[in-house]
A and B are shown apart, each in its own frame.
Chain A
Amino acid sequence: MIAEIVATAARLFSGCRPRWLDEPPAPGPRVYFANHASHLDALVIGASLPSACRKRCRIVAAADFWNGNGLRRWLAKDVFRALLIERKKVTRANNPAEAMSEVLTCGDALIIFPEGGRGSGNAVESFRGGLWHLARRHPGLEFSPVWLENLNRILPKGEVLPVPLISAVTIGKSFQCDMQQGKDQFLDSARNALLRLREHE
């Protein structure tokens, strides 16, 4: 109920109408990966998904940032059920790939920002290795690129007050990892799939 209200509010505020290049998928393990420039990004992707998928979808977020203070921790853990992962001091015990893998094994989907942090919104940085590790551990896993537009203008990094412009969410055709591909090759092809959506407009 609250999740539906939050999703509707997010859609109204960001003015987004999701554009699916494929049919919207059924709930199940899957990785949505997107360009990242705003705190609203994950919220808007979640709001764009069909409600059955939204309920079975976890946002992957940085533990160092979202454990930063009580409000953030409450938002991340209690409101959005985010999967908080370590991005700086990775050890065997807090291995992010392990935690993400577990979620997929449970049959849930993940929302990942493979650039590893918010950018200015103008360029897409090279991808961190997370997507690759998931592809290795889960052969046949579907990856869906999600291109977000204008969210960096609605709530850019370092601002707390939003400007309610109209954003656009494009969810591209999903693909699987070709097991012949090497790490850099796969990450590059994933990044290119995302960049192609930008030109799709």
Chain B
Amino acid sequence: MLGDKAMTTLLGIVLGVLLLATIVGKILAARATTEKSKRLIANLNARTRAWWIMVLIFSVSICLGGLTTVVLFGLSSFLAFREFVTLTPTRRGDHRALFWAFFAIIPIQYVLIGIQWYGLFAIFIPVYAFLFIPIRVALGGDPVNFLGRTSRVQWGLMVCVYFVSHVPALLMLDIPGYSGRNASLLFFFILIVQMNDVFQYLWGNLFGRRAIAPVISPNKTWEGFIGGLISSTAVGAALYWTTPFLAWQSAALAFAIAGMGFAGDLTMSAVKRDLGVKDYSNMIPGHGGVLDRLDSLSFAAPFFFHLTRYFFTP
């Protein structure tokens, strides 16, 4: 798969950006004088180091083939759902329902992708998990805050598992003239989502003034959002030749990905405020938890998947 020119280029871009970030980080760290800027640069460099590891894991898995990619995203879903449930108040009566969520619902969702059963993949969690969870919790016999408890489990499954699973599901799309190259499309999607996060962060830190929803997240500004949107759209247009799309289509899809990515980030920040935490966990140094890294991806994935499926598959 490394022989694929598109894939090699995408990987080259990512490594180039990371190398640049590492060098710039080193220079900034040497120049930083105030206590505050030192802390900011240290966090930036911790993020870059974590990016190297994440890129390494992701690239190796995608080069090893479809099955490894499915397993990687299955594991990511597992870890994200674990962070979500840990922070969510649950009661003793939810125990068995949660057990099945972790050890049956998550694996089944990803097996459905592995065996390419699209029909069931698309409805399994919204319909069957939605039915199963409240039934199992009701059998637990504890009615206190029943609706809230079951909703939270279902919400976690949708965001951490169902939405995220649409990323490896890109591998099962049958796009005319693009067969065997879906891994590039997946790489393109992840690249736009994550670049958009970085662009927002940079634009926001450089020019950010007007916060969009200050109570939910003071760091998300109109300047960062719009700057990110434009930059990501431009990157999407420039990389159109790695996708099955025309340049304008690729730009439009990158625009949609960036918009939904921002929405995911903002929405999951609101959830964090509700739960009274800053990060979902401290598993990835500088970034927070797995779910902090996946929030934008989770919201963008189903959107991108269905746009591609509707417009580009027969």
B interface SS class: helix
Number of residues from A at the complex interface, CB < 8 A: 13
CB neighbors of A among B106-144 (8 A): none
Per the bound structure, the CA–CA distance linking A126 and B255 in Å amounts to 60
Which single residue of chain A is at the shortest CB-CB distance from B98?
Answer: A163
Chain B interface size band reads 10 to 19
- Count of inter-chain pairs, beta carbons less than 8 A: 30
A150 on the B face (CB < 8 A): yes
Q: Can you list 12 A-B contacts with CB-CB less than 8 angstroms, sorted by A residue number?
A: A17-B282, A120-B92, A150-B86, A153-B86, A153-B90, A159-B96, A163-B85, A163-B95, A163-B102, A165-B82, A165-B86, A166-B83
Residues of B within 8 Å of A29, CB to CB, are: none
The closest CB in chain B to the CB of A149 belongs to: B86
**Chain B proximity of A152: nearest CB distance (Å):** 9
Q: Which residues of A contact B102 (CB under 8 A)?
A: 163-164
**Min CB–CB distance A162 → chain B (angstroms):** 7
* Bound complex: CA A166 to CA B90 (Å): 13
Distance between Cα atoms of A58 and B99 in the complex (Å): 31
In the A-B complex, the 10 residue pairs with the smallest Cβ-Cβ separation, listed nearest first, are: A166-B86, A165-B86, A163-B98, A161-B99, A163-B99, A159-B95, A156-B92, A164-B82, A165-B85, A164-B102
A25 cross-chain contacts in B, Cβ below 8 A: none
**B281 in the interface, Cβ–Cβ < 8 Å?**
yes
Q: How far is the CA of A15 from the CA of B282 in the complex (A)?
A: 11
Contact B281 A166 (CB under 8 A): yes
Chain A nearest CB from B204 CB (Å) reads: 29
**Residues on the A chain within 8 Å of B95, using CB:** 153, 156, 159, 161, 163
Contacts of A159 in B (CB 8 A): 95-96
CA distance A20 to B83 in the complex (A): 22
Residues of A within 8 A of B83 (CB): 166
Query: Measured between C-beta atoms, what is the minimum distance from B76 to chain A in Å?
Result: 14
Q: State A161–B136 Cα separation when bound (angstroms).
A: 15
Specify which of A17, A150, A163, A165 lies most central, judged by the most chain B CB atoms within 10 Å of its CB: A163
Q: Nearest chain-B residue to A121 (Cβ)?
A: B92
* A152 and chain B: residue at smallest CB distance: B92
Does the CB pair A166–B99 fall under 8 Å? no
How long is the Cα–Cα vector from A164 to B83 in the complex, in angstroms?
A: 10
Closest residue on chain A to residue B97 by CB atoms: A163
User: Nearest chain-A residue to B83 (Cβ)?
Assistant: A166
> How far does the Cβ of A63 sit from chain B's closest Cβ, in whole Å?
28
Q: Which of B48-86 contact A (CB under 8 A)?
A: 82-83, 85-86
